[in-house]
Amino acid sequence: MNSTPRILNRVLIGILGLVLIFLGTLLVLLATVPAVGTWWRTWSAGAWSNWQDLFARTRVPGQQESWLWLVLAVLLLAVMGAMVAWAAQQGKGRASLLVAEEDPGEVPGIVRIGGGVAEQALRAALADRPDLAGATVATYELRGEPALKIRVQPRQGVAPHTLAAEVSALVEALDVVVGKRTPVLIHISSGARSRFGRAERVR
C-alpha cells in the first residue's frame, strides 16, 4: 500500500549483486591464475595510459587541469542527488492520522484521531488469539485518504475466509467507535511459524 519503489529496489539490488559477483570472481582469478594476473597488469597499464592521454588532451587553455574533472564532479553530484531521492522514497506512504474532520457543533473545531489508536486497538484484539501466529497493523495514505493494512499469520488449519470475516468484524466495530468507515486491506500470509497459502481481502 505504500509507495516504496520495490521494482526499482530489486533492479538495483540485482545490478549490485552482479557487480559484486564479477569483482569477487575477478579477485579470485587474480589470486589463483597467473595468466589472469599477467593479463590484468597489461590491461590496467594500457587503460591508465589512455586515461592520462585523455586528460592531457582535454586541459583547459592556460591551465594544467582537465575540464573532465568538472564533468566528473557534476556526475558525482547527480549520483548523490539520485541516491538521496531514492532513499527518500523508502517507506513513503505511511500516515499518522486516521480521521481529521471538522466538527460544526456548538464549539466548531477539528477532530483528529491518530492512526496509532486504531493500530493499538486492533493489535490488542488480535494479540491473544490462539489461531494466529502473528499480526501487524499499519496506517497508510491511499489516494489521499487514510487506510489500514492488517497483516495476519494464521496457524496451520485455520480457514482463511473465516479469519478474514472475523477481522472484518473487528474493523467494523472500530468504524462504529471512530465514526468513519476506513478502507482496509486484510493480508493473510504464511510465515516461518505457519504453513499456509497467502490470501488477501480488501474491504
Residue 150 confidence (pLDDT): 87
Q: Is residue 15 predicted with pLDDT exceeding 90?
A: yes
H or E element that contains 187? strand 184-188
Strands (E), 68-165: 97-103, 109-114, 132-142, 145-154
Closest to 158 measured CA to CA, from 128, 202, 197: 197
Which carries the bigger pLDDT value, residue 141 or residue 57?
57
93 φψ region: left (φ > 0), alpha (ψ -120 to 50), beta (else): left
Q: Are 125 and 82 in contact (CB under 8 A)?
A: no
Give tens-digit pLDDT for 55-76: 888 888 878 888 888 899 999 9
All domains in the chain, ordered by first residue:
6-88 (no CATH), 97-202 (3.30.70.1350)
**Predicted pLDDT at 76:** 94
Q: What crossing angle do the helices spanning 115-127 and 160-178 adopt, rounded to 10°?
A: 140
CA nearest to 55, candidates 76, 44, 70: 70
Show the cell assigned to 149: 493494512
Of 137, 193, 196, 192, nearest in space to 162 by CA: 196
Query: pTM for this one?
Result: 0.51
In the chain, pLDDT over 90 holds for what percent of residues?
A: 18
